[in-house]
Structures are given as C-alpha cells and as structure tokens.
C-alpha cells in the first residue's frame, strides 16, 4: 500500500522532484568545474519506518564535495494525522480533523569557501481542511557581499512581481521577521523571501499559487549557481574560515530552536537524517 494522491498533489510532487533533479545536476556541474568528482547520493525513506509506505516518505539527497562542503536536497510526500496538540498549531487542522498531506522540496547548502554564501530554499504544498503553498529562499553569507545580496533579492523580486505587486515587499519583510534569532538579536543571514498559507480555495487558486511557487524554484536555480561561480575561487584566510564556523553556529541555533520545518518533520514521523541535514558539517561557538 502506498499513499494515494489526487491530481493536484501528484502535480505538486512531480514538480518538486523535477526541480530536485535539475538543482542536483547544476550543483554537480559546479563540482566538476572545480575538478571534483563529488556526486549526490540518494537515500529513500518511509514515514515512521513503515515498509508499506502507507504514510508516504521521501528521498534524502546529500553531496559532500570541494565547493559544496555539505549540501542536502530533499523531497518528501507524506500524509496521515497530526497529534492532537501539534494539530492546533497547523493551518486548517484541529482535533476534529487532524488529517494532513504534505509534499515539498527542502535544500540547505553549506559551502567550503567562506566567501561563498550558504543558502536555504524550501517550497511545499499542504492540505488539511484547507490547502495551500508555502516556502521561500534566503541567503546566508558568512562574509556578505553587497552585490550578491542585491542580485539575490533582485532575482526573487523578478519572480514575485508577475504574481502580485506587493508580493516581494510582503514576503521579503516576512523573511526578515522569520529568519531572526531572538536570543542573539541578529538575523540568520541577509534575507530573501518567505511565504506561507497561500490558500487554494479552488482550481484557479491552485494554478496561480502553484505557478508562483514554480517561479520561486526557477529563480533560485537561476541565481544561486551564478553567485557560487563568482566567489568559489576567492582565496580564504584562516580568519575567514573562523568567521564561517562561528556563523554556522548561529545557523544551527536557529534551525534547532526556531525553524518550523524542523519541528514539522520531527513531529510527523520524518526521517531524522533528512530533517537534520540542514545542520552544518562543522561549527564553533567561541
């Protein structure tokens, strides 16, 4: 027995998996340009370890290379019922109807060169008693470059503008608010966009929000490899690497304490290694 999907769920899952394939190919090409033979390894998993996959599952993609010190690109498609307490925190769920479906892609890249920014991208489609899209992307440079920040935001704005005149301003502000580490009183990085609960009340709403979510994925695939190629050859000092390791400590704190995706995965029977792939391979707290 496997998880049964409707047409919208099938289309969303297929898109996320196809985006995964193209992103992984682009990242492997960068590794090849750097003289590395690193490639992604893929590990499938089933929700709650169920061999029948009645609750769905996913595939963890992981590569450790010369440019990408550690990059995870995961896809998952899961369904079932939330616990009563967790259901209270989820849009459209509750004690009366705790059922859910979720499919999405999640990516985090930690780079070997401190001059190349770490990055996060996630887009997803969920159904409870409602159905909606959410996601975003944000840049996390240990050593920020204003031109990289400007290019990243400009490309995301170009993805947002055809879908809503206020989308970029709204979702940029949402990212600034979300990717904030209260106990450090700092942002996690230089921001990007974050959106959630773009509801699909009918097929037209699904089509519109799905189109926007696809454009976010395409924008990421377009801009991030360009930034990597521009920075990966810059010489890095010991002090540069020390700054990166300290920055990674802040990144880990956010993901373990505040990140909603981490909590969602842990509370819905996800694969632990896939959930925690967002953590850096090494970090320091000084």
**Active-site amino acid positions:** 120
Helix (H) or strand (E) holding 194: strand 191-199
| Tokens (6 digits) for 225 | 């490899």
Residue 28, both tokens: 């492997």
Output the CA–CA distances (angstroms, integers) from residue 11 to 103, 223, 230, in the order listed. Answer: 10, 25, 35
Residue ranges of alpha helices (H) inside 34-162 are: 84-87, 146-160
Starting from the edge strand earliest in sequence, which strands make up the sheet with 68-81, in order?
41-46, 56-63, 68-81, 99-111, 118-127, 131-140, 191-199
Which residues touch 8 (CB under 8 Å, ≥6 apart)? 125, 131, 200, 203, 206, 210
Instruction: Report residue 89: phi and psi, to 5°.
Output: -95, -5
Contact between 175 and 149 under an 8 Å Cβ cutoff? The reply is no
- DSSP string over 216-271: HHHHHHHHHHHHHHHHTTS---HHHHHHHHHHHHHHHHHHHHT-HHHHHHHHTT--
What gap in Å lies between CA 163 and CA 160, rounded to an integer? Answer: 6
């Amino acid at each position: 027995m496997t998880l049964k999907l409707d047409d919208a769920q099938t289309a969303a899952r297929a898109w996320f998996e196809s985006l995964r394939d193209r992103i992984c190919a682009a990242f492997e090409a960068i590794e090849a340009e750097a003289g590395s033979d690193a490639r992604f390894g893929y590990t499938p998993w089933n929700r709650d370890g169920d061999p029948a996959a009645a609750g769905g599952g996913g595939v963890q993609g992981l590569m450790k290379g010369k440019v990408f010190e550690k990059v995870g690109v995961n896809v998952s498609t899961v369904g079932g019922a939330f616990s009563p307490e967790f259901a209270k925190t989820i849009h459209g769920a509750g004690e009366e109807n705790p059922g859910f479906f979720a499919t999405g892609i999640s990516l985090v890249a930690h780079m070997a060169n401190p001059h190349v920014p770490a990055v996060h991208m996630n887009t997803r489609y969920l159904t409870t008693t409602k159905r909606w899209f959410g996601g975003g992307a944000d840049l996390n440079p240990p050593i920020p470059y204003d031109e990289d920040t400007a290019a990243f935001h400009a490309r995301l704005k170009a993805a947002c503008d055809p879908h809503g005149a206020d989308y970029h301003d709204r979702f940029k502000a949402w990212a600034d608010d979300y990717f904030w580490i209260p106990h450090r009183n700092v942002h996690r990085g230089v921001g990007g966009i974050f959106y959630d609960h773009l509801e699909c009340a009918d097929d037209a709403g699904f089509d519109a929000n799905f189109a926007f979510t696809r454009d976010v994925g395409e924008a990421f695939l377009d801009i991030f490899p360009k930034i990597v190629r521009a920075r990966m050859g810059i010489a890095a000092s010991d002090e540069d690497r020390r700054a990166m390791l300290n920055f990674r400590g802040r990144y880990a704190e956010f993901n373990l304490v505040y990140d909603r995706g981490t909590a969602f995965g842990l509370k819905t029977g996800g694969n632990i290694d896939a959930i925690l792939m967002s953590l850096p391979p090494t970090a320091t707290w000084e």
